[in-house]
Structure 1
Amino acid sequence: MAVEEQAGQVIVASYAGLEPPTELIAELGLGGVILMGDNVESTDQVAAATAAAREADERPYPLIVAVDQEGGNVARVREPATEFPAYMALGAARDPELAADVARASGEELRALGFTMVFAPDADVTIGPDDPTIASRSASSDPELVAEIVVGSLRGYAEAGIVAVPKHFPGHGSVPADSHEELPVQTAPLEELLERDFAPFHAAVNAGASALMVAHIDVEAVDPGTPSSLSGDVIELARSELEFGGLLVTDAQDMAAVTALYGPGEAAVGALAAGADVVLMPADARVAHEAIVAAVEDGRLPAERLEEAATRGVAVMLNQDAADDPPSADVVGAHEDVSYEASLAAVTIAAGECRGPYVGDTVAVSGGTEQDRARFVAAAEEAGLTVGSGGDTVRLLGGSGPGAGDVAVALDAPYPLGPSEASTKIAIYGRTPAAFRALVDVLRGAETGHGRLPVDVEGADQLGCPRSP
């Protein structure tokens, strides 16, 4: 590749609207594109868009066509594709095999839609309620449990033939700020980071991960004042401490943690010079491309470094090209049973009896969003319950206050259960149709909830209910 081609290869760009930037892909030789929520209208439209992007030029290896599809609140493609619960559900289920099943199912649907790379699983270790960004996107506050679930997920994605990118090294779950809005500061000593935040990433590397995402975090103990995605010292830790030789992808460079400090060209060059291999979502892809070429020409970016980064990207995609052919479109939306299994295994009884029924034949529902309540009603009526006034009240908690109700149900992270005065407290870690079906089945006593709280919840009476021997 010429330098201009290499400079394109290391950029994965975002775009506006429903049509991918095919001319820009061909002109700059972009390494790939990412689809965000604004690029998604329907599954048919997504399949057409990814196909157009992949066919934009005639390169002999796949284009990176990426998406954030973690499950829970971070999922760009929704119904009629299968919706999966938040990643914390898998931590509550404590079942790496189930994590593999979910990742395989999600990966198959993504491949059928034309994606070649997924920015998941989330390998962050959450610190609890003081974590405003990751929360239920993390499997747990226990590094070992996160590592086990991440390794299971990676196996499932690999079996589906999609490149998985664990994120956000060096760990975004233990900083009290959101890098979308500002540069978070990590104040923990390096020894603590190595033991806690690095552990799931180390496990991911040992399990064969071919790519990792690097966050925009100011790690004071390593390189104070510099976002980790632009820090040679932090990136070197991925190479030395994790012994990772694969593809390092920056987090999105259009986030405030970067844009408040750097222009798009400076940020792209800085990340590559620091050792990153893919510049994700520069604020201006064309400006980033021009800056990379200019930096090589004037010696600020060694030509060997750009070549190394481009080579890693091509190598990973050549490996992806060796996967089996994508499944047919019939698999899209065909994994509701897997989603239900994951949600049922996660249901956690944090207060109350370990076996239902917890409600009578008539229930009332409050809290949550309009969609939450509609999905609960649909699941309840499908199961034969009557929804209306006069019955037991189920209070849905999704970031709102505890409220009143006979049964309190946390839909995302379980922390709102703590201050609730309900006699029965349940966490389900999801707002999907399958999550509400699992909840209703537990409420009416048809199933039992055996999930265990994967994080500490002040005010919870118990971690969960064990399975009978």
Structure 2
Amino acid sequence: MTPRERAGQLVMMGVTGGLDAAEARTLSDGAFGSVILMGSTTDGVAGTRGRTDAIQEAGGGAVLVAVDQEGGLVQRLKGPGFDTMPSASEQADLGPAGLTAAAARWGKQMVDAGVHLDLAPVADVVPADKLHSNEPIGKLGRGYGTTPDEVAENVAAVVAGFREAGLSASPKHFPNLGQVVGNTDFTAKVVDDVTTADAAALAPYRRLIADGVETVMVGTAWYTHIDADAPAAFSPAVIGVLREDLGFTGVVVSDDLGVAKAVADVPAAQRAVRFVRAGGDLAISVDAPAALAMVQGLAEATQGDEELAAQVTAAAGRVLALKAAHGLASCEPVLG
């Protein structure tokens, strides 16, 4: 693979609605290995399959397709064939066995529509006394409980159901958005001054990693007790907790680095570079032009930088291994 092709494997591009001609060109020009389906649609399973088939045609049949399909206020795919998914707080009432059965059904619907990865479930632990002040999770009903053990049991049940359906999961937002007030999508610097590297709130991730979860999403809030100098997605210390302390060897995915206010002060061409330098693998940009800039910036940054080039190679190997599990790449990716 060329440096540009490797970089393309490490950036996930947003596609809003049907794939238009401009998006098809960007997908091809950027050598993107993955896309995230943006925009809420009511096309149903069959209509979504037509959309993902068009993406595969433009991407040479080797594109990992992801979506935000949590339930409640965050359900991108609707219409005939897709269940209406309740919010996470309501899903929790099903109990672990019921939740696994429901997730297996929802997962099969996504797989039938051509989706490989659901950027869910939310594994954040919002304490009961912060449910009404926590803007990104608590106030929106996106949490599976108010204690680490409760959340861990429920998200493990969801991931088990997805796995049964052949769908990969990406629990989020590591290390935890449960203690913050602001939303990183709309606020420039959201700070958590509570969570530590050994916080009880990491329990859901410990459980999921032990169960073999394939990917984990890292957020863009700042964690002063872990790294006061960088947001999580750009922090070697935060990603180091995930890799070294928790022993995660799969794909580290970023929260959106395209239009989120949390990264607006970083040039687009530098965002994937900072993420990969910190130990990340797959940078999401819901904005296609920003995604293209991220690929170009990452490819250029590897020239003459042996350390970064080695990180890109290793990250591409992890991403290709995930894709191979879905029949989208060789089972033994060879880079060089």
Same fold (TM over 0.5): yes
1:184 is aligned to 190
2:254 is aligned to 250
1:259 is displaced (CA, Å) by: 3.2
1:189 is displaced (CA, Å) by: 4.9
Asked if the contact 1:248/1:276 (under 8 Å) is kept, the reply is yes
Asked if the contact 2:66/2:115 (under 8 Å) is kept, the reply is yes
> Using CA pairs below 8 Å that are at least 6 residues apart, which structure has the higher relative contact order?
2
Map residues 108-187 of structure 1 onto 2, 5 A cutoff: 108-127=108-127, 128-135=131-138, 136-182=141-187, 183-187=189-193
Q: Does the alignment pair 1:272 with 2:311?
A: no
1:86 is aligned to 87
Map residues 293-312 of structure 1 onto 2, 5 A cutoff: 293-299=299-305, 302-312=308-318
- Ranges in structure 2 where 5+ consecutive residues have no aligned partner: 329-336
Q: Distance in 1 between matches of 2:293 and 2:258?
A: 13
SS at match of 1:280: strand
Asked if the contact 2:220/2:262 (under 8 Å) is kept, the reply is yes
Asked if the contact 2:186/2:262 (under 8 Å) is kept, the reply is no
- Post-superposition CA distance 1:115-144 (Å, at most 9, x none): 111101111111322211112111011110
Q: Does the alignment pair 1:72 with 2:76?
A: no
1:15 is displaced (CA, Å) by: 3.0
Aligned AA for 1:142?
T
Asked if the contact 2:176/2:195 (under 8 Å) is kept, the reply is no
- Ranges in structure 1 where 5+ consecutive residues have no aligned partner: 323-469
Q: Does the alignment pair 1:58 with 2:88?
A: no
> Cα 1:32–1:266, aligned 2, differ >3 Å: closer, same or farther?
same
2:333 is aligned to none
Q: Distance in 2 between matches of 1:207 and 1:189?
A: 23
- Post-superposition CA distance 1:140-178 (Å, at most 9, x none): 111101101111111110110011111110011221110
Asked if the contact 1:4/1:293 (under 8 Å) is kept, the reply is yes
RMSD between aligned alpha carbons? 1.8
Aligned AA for 2:8?
G
Map residues 429-468 of structure 1 onto 2, 5 A cutoff: none
2:103 is aligned to 103
SS at match of 2:325: helix
1:415 is aligned to none
SS at match of 2:26: helix
1:45 is displaced (CA, Å) by: 3.3
Asked if the contact 1:295/1:301 (under 8 Å) is kept, the reply is no
Q: Distance in 2 between matches of 1:41 and 1:263?
A: 35
Q: Does the alignment pair 1:22 with 2:24?
A: yes
Q: How many residues align?
A: 316
| Aligned match for 1:289, one of 295, 309, 326 | 295
Q: Distance in 2 between matches of 1:30 and 1:129?
A: 39
Q: Distance in 1 between matches of 2:17 and 2:83?
A: 23
Q: TM-score if structure 1 supplies the norm length?
A: 0.65
Aligned AA for 1:7?
A
Q: Distance in 2 between matches of 1:300 and 1:197?
A: 36
- Post-superposition CA distance 1:308-366 (Å, at most 9, x none): 111111101111239xxxxxxxxxxxxxxxxxxxxxxxxxxxxxxxxxxxxxxxxxxxx
Aligned AA for 1:134?
I
> Cα 1:79–1:170, aligned 2, differ >3 Å: closer, same or farther?
same
1:218 is aligned to 222
Aligned AA for 1:251?
D
Aligned AA for 1:223?
D
Q: Does the alignment pair 1:35 with 2:37?
A: yes
Q: Distance in 1 between matches of 2:151 and 2:198?
A: 14
Structure index of larger Rg: 1
1:87 is displaced (CA, Å) by: 1.0
SS at match of 1:321: coil
1:278 is displaced (CA, Å) by: 0.3
Bigger share in helix? 2
Greater Cα shift, 264-273 or 274-283: 274-283
1:55 is displaced (CA, Å) by: 2.3
Aligned AA for 2:134?
D
- Post-superposition CA distance 1:399-448 (Å, at most 9, x none): xxxxxxxxxxxxxxxxxxxxxxxxxxxxxxxxxxxxxxxxxxxxxxxxxx
Q: Distance in 2 between matches of 1:237 and 1:255?
A: 26
Aligned AA for 1:26?
S
SS at match of 1:194: coil
Asked if the contact 1:227/1:257 (under 8 Å) is kept, the reply is no
Q: Does the alignment pair 1:313 with 2:314?
A: no
2:334 is aligned to none
> Cα 1:282–1:57, aligned 2, differ >3 Å: closer, same or farther?
closer
SS at match of 2:205: helix
Q: TM-score if structure 2 supplies the norm length?
A: 0.89
1:57 is displaced (CA, Å) by: 3.6
2:199 is aligned to 195
> Cα 1:64–1:82, aligned 2, differ >3 Å: closer, same or farther?
same
- Post-superposition CA distance 1:80-101 (Å, at most 9, x none): 32111111123234x2111111
Map residues 355-370 of structure 1 onto 2, 5 A cutoff: none
Runs of 4+ in 1 over 6 A off after TM superposition: none
Greater Cα shift, 293-302 or 95-104: 293-302
- Post-superposition CA distance 1:40-66 (Å, at most 9, x none): 35124322110111222436xx42111
Asked if the contact 1:184/1:257 (under 8 Å) is kept, the reply is no
